Structure 1
Amino acid sequence: AVVLRHFALTYETVIFAALTDVVGQAPFRHMVTPGGFQMSAAMTSCGGFGWLADRTGYRYNTTDPQTGLPWPPLPDALLRLGIEAATAAGYPSFVPDACLINRYAVGAKMSLHQDKDEPDLGAPIVSVSLGLPANFQFGGLRREDKPLRVQLTHGDVVVWGGPARLYFHGVLPIKDGVHPLTGAFRINLTFRKVSK
């Protein structure tokens, strides 16, 4: 696992232009877990696949159930960011086909979990932090393993794969604040390889 401090700052303008376009087609929404709980982070997706959670489980799908349309294409600027961050972290063959976009309001969090819905676990995860800072938790292969706590700020990118690919990770509640570009929110982009 590698933290690339401020790696995404050079992409800042194109990232926010791309996000405006994506969210205009596939708005943020709060999904419901199989246990019936509403997730505190709002989500959307772009690329060939989007990630879904509902009472039937967690999965990827090629269409947005809210619109009935395919998810918006993965913008070239975001694709380039995902590839270049993975390459910088030692994964030069990574080409994502999905980008999950989470919006955290103040107080929102993400419980410790594994990213294991992808068929190819050899591909890394590339996670881009924007806006308000977050305390990222990065544990081990067991939920009870004590996690490291890493503060991520605007423009930081975390890449993990190989032996760390299935490590539990999460985000502690976002603290109160205002960022000049995102207001009272943290935005997280997570690039994945979903197709085999």
Structure 2
Amino acid sequence: MATAPHLSPKLVVGIGSLLLALVATRATMRTAGYPDDRAIRSWPTTLGGRLRREIPRGDHLTAAWVAIAVWSVAVSGLHFGGVYYNVYTDLPWWDLLTHAMGGLGVAAALGFTFREATLRSALWLVPAVLAIGAGFEVYEFVFKTFWYHWSLEFYVVDTLIDLAVNTSGAVVFVAAAALYRRRRG
């Protein structure tokens, strides 16, 4: 009888991703700029409140939120289109593209949700995006089947690359926020 994929040696990826998500969350909370006046569990409510207040304004904040929404739709379209049309199989760099864009988008959403903290120091966004990316890898381990036929080595490498590329997207946003802060004075 074959071992169920979730109970195979590949379990190391699922458990490793979960542990990394927890460690990265802890690191986020200890990194400069972290919005320590908000518990992590309150982040969705904080985002919703920002959107309700800032989208109707019709100013540069509205434009920023619309840009983040358009970016999110583009990333989702590239991802789901890539899955539907087997682009991930035909173009190996497609996965890198969607993960980098996703990391940048998550960093932007968090950065604009917690603007004051981000303008003090955006560094907290890097471990935050790593934590969210690791959490997504746990989701893939539990609910997806594409990795069942992969070797353990391939699965570990794919997961590490996904996390690195997600995080590089966050680094791009952090660099842009630092540049904005410097120019703003």
Q: Structure 1-normalised TM-score?
A: 0.25
Instruction: Answer 1 or 2: higher relative contact order, Cα 8 Å, separation at least 6.
Output: 2
Q: Which protein has the bigger strand share?
A: 1
The structure richer in helix per residue is 2
**TM-score (structure 2 length as normaliser):** 0.26
- Highest Rg: 1 or 2? 2
